[in-house]
A and B are shown apart, each in its own frame.
Chain A
């Protein structure tokens, strides 16, 4: 068993004691699951030990995120392990303790101003409102991608303490917190990123959601195949009907194609390549799979899958939101289109063969 398999086994063991539940404003996340994961060192996987992480490769972090996504785990691990954590490390900033939930904010209008307090560079104040913040109200720290001071290109990646920040509550279709945070001159440590590196932070976020989507869609397929094998109608399992087999095969095509591209984008990340176009492609492909896979899964599950009594909604509702989070499908489709045509219309094919 590889190290990665061991990590995945550990996450699965932990998950088996934490059933997903319907998220509400009163109970917007699984704090107990987070504590258990943190105690096992799983909230620092892929982050360097010298920065306070648990070490390991980015691929190990991806494996953790995949497993948690397939289990509909209501914890900000994707944001911490795949986006905010690595982005802070890459920018040379200190990581907050990895047992405290960390998220990332890339939307809204926040600008950063440097503070000249005699402590040297790296001190900023953030002003504005960060919107659609994953796990707002839950995360203890937020890595904010803020606009750089006027006249300076790029963005400032800055870490703020979320305690005491005002904001408004909002949730995605699965009830996951996606509120806004109001920053009124909030003190932060940060670093100026040139435009290309700021774009990479956004791309990492998109890739994180694509990883979650791929894993969730694969699980939805597995649940649906199992259900079709168990559910009897007209004296035989649904899976024996050719019409149902066609639907399941169609789902399998979407899930398999998505998985292949997301895996390739993750490999590009592992190799340290610029992942903007791979992440854009992975996010768009995964998003495109959501409609057919979720639709067919619900169709095969019938009315029971349309209720909160059945587990299917834990993943389908997440997928319907994740496909437009971390940059909408439309946004990333345009990024990909523009990127592929950067060298002109005659160079589309060479561009395609370079992406992944």
Chain B
């Protein structure tokens, strides 16, 4: 069944199962060698450039892109299997996550040939990391209200002034795709006059200031642009087309398995505990949570298959992110109800640690990439209500 809310079921993919097995083998070897330890929400917090390079060497970044840009021309279903395995293992994937998930596809769709040649092969190699430059101190859900401005100078370059916030891992990244206002606000069309710029974060005039999240971790930043001169050829796509480009980018940002697997490492730890205890109530909880996860997985697989067909499943992506991020937080409460455990980052008990990590990251699940209220508005549009 296919509807505006859900694409048609994904056909089985042998290629995806093959690469899944390869990734599993790789992850087991890495864990055995002590290359990483499992954590919750590692696509935000697990920065490890060396690990990202290993994935690049194995052809697991830029998987769906053309080979002439360093890609591997594999299917979205194969990419889905790889990302899902990495997330389930709680592997450190944050360094390359944004670049591989959305900046690369955005460049592929809207970038100039020179931009693609210069950057995409480096992303696919796991050597070039990106940040998202959308939200600002005064612009969260109301993205069209951004105030960061870019104006052309006499040399045809862009001069950027303003600030972006919640820029995950800007302090480890090389570039940002920054949404800027390039024309004054048109009261009749507030989505007009926006553009995207490809900004080298090492340019003079850029300062990156940490914003610590609840557990004290430094992932977010404020990136301030003080008359930063960005070369004229670093416009991404068309001037004034920024809103349409951002919307397309968000479909990639919202559709993947990271929207329901952020707390999977906690569920995995709970599974180990349930095996030991055999508690029937806990077994039922594991079953209930698993059923929800399996449904989300089916939806996410359908979206991957839709991407393979060249569709832009923005409404299904909003729906799966709403349901998925609600699930991510519910995992914490459901487990607490059936296990005697107190969350602690310092505990020798891995379940207590995972619970603490999941809890302190929880407010973010239903905010990042578009709040669930914004997402439900998009779903309401899919229902014909807007």
Contact = CB atoms under 8 A, between A and B. Distances in A.
Contact of A336 (B276, B287, B299, B384): B287
Contacts of B297: 352
Interface string B322-349: 1100100000000000000000000000
A239 B24 CA distance: 47
Contact of B287 (A261, A264, A280): A280
Contacts of A348: 267-268, 271-272
Contacts of B33: none
B283 A256 contact: no
B210 to A, nearest CB: 33
Interface string A325-356: 00001101111111011001110111011011
B288 to A, nearest CB: 5
Given A245-B377, A252-B382, A355-B294, A260 B287 contact: no
21 contacts: A248-B383, A249-B322, A249-B377, A253-B322, A257-B296, A260-B295, A261-B298, A263-B1, A263-B9, A280-B291, A282-B291, A284-B288, A334-B284, A334-B287, A337-B286, A341-B271, A341-B283, A345-B273, A348-B271, A349-B264, A352-B290
Contacts of B280: 334
Given A239-B385, A352-B294, A250 B286 contact: no
Interface in B359-386: 373, 375-377, 379-380, 382-386
Interface string B266-285: 01100111111000101111
B385 A260 contact: no
B302 interface: yes
B352 interface: no
Residue of B89, B276, B385 with highest tally of chain A CB at under 10 A: B385
Residue of A228, A252, A257, A261 with highest tally of chain B CB at under 10 A: A257
Contacts, number: 156
Contacts of A258: 295
B335 to A, nearest CB: 13
A338 B298 contact: no
A63 to B, nearest CB: 10
B322 A260 contact: no
Interface in A260-304: 260-261, 263-264, 267, 280-282, 284-285, 288
B17 to A, nearest CB: 9
A251 B386 CA distance: 16
B6 interface: yes
Contacts of A329: 288
B177 interface: no
Nearest to B373: A246
A254 interface: yes
Contacts of B379: 249, 252-253
B294 A261 contact: yes
Interface residues of A, number: 50
Task: Please classify the interface of chain B as helix (H, G, I), strand (E, B), loop, or mixed, using the class held by over half of its residues.
Answer: helix
Contact of A335 (B273, B285, B287): B287
Given A257-B296, A261-B298, A341-B286, A336 B291 contact: yes
B268 to A, nearest CB: 6
9 tightest A-B CB contacts, nearest first: A345-B272, A333-B287, A249-B376, A336-B287, A337-B283, A337-B287, A249-B379, A261-B295, A284-B291
A229 interface: yes
A350 B24 CA distance: 9
B5 interface: yes
Residue of A225, A256, A345 with highest tally of chain B CB at under 10 A: A256
A263 B298 contact: yes
A102 to B, nearest CB: 28
B88 A349 contact: yes
A259 interface: yes
Contact of A257 (B264, B274, B292): B292
Contacts of B302: 260
A22 to B, nearest CB: 30
A345 to B, nearest CB: 3
B254 interface: no
A333 B293 CA distance: 13
B20 interface: yes
Contacts of B94: none
Contacts of A257: 292, 295-296, 298-299, 320, 323
B6 A345 contact: no
B319 A253 contact: yes
Contacts of A252: 5, 319, 379, 382-383
Contacts of A281: 290-291, 294-295
B98 to A, nearest CB: 24
Contacts of B283: 333-334, 337-338, 341
A152 B166 CA distance: 65
Contact of B290 (A259, A330, A340, A344): A340
Nearest to A242: B377
B323 A245 contact: no
Contacts of B323: 253-254, 256-257
A259 B276 contact: no
Contact of B299 (A260, A333, A345, A352): A260
Contact of A356 (B89, B271, B298, B320): B298
A264 to B, nearest CB: 5
Given A254-B323, A280-B287, A337-B284, 10 more contacts: A225-B385, A250-B376, A257-B299, A257-B323, A264-B9, A281-B294, A334-B287, A337-B287, A341-B275, A356-B294
B31 to A, nearest CB: 11
A119 B122 CA distance: 78
Residue of B291, B293, B373, B384 with highest tally of chain A CB at under 10 A: B291
B271 A225 contact: no
B383 A249 contact: yes
Nearest to B272: A345
Nearest to A241: B385
B380 A284 contact: no
A333 B280 CA distance: 10
A333 B284 contact: yes
Interface in A232-247: 239-240, 242, 245-246
Interface string B248-272: 0000000000000000100110011
Interface in A191-216: none
A201 B310 CA distance: 41
Contact of B272 (A254, A288, A346): A346
Given A249-B379, A252-B379, A259 B6 contact: yes
Given A345-B272, A353-B20, A288 B292 contact: yes
Contacts of B320: 257
Contacts of A285: 291-292, 294-295
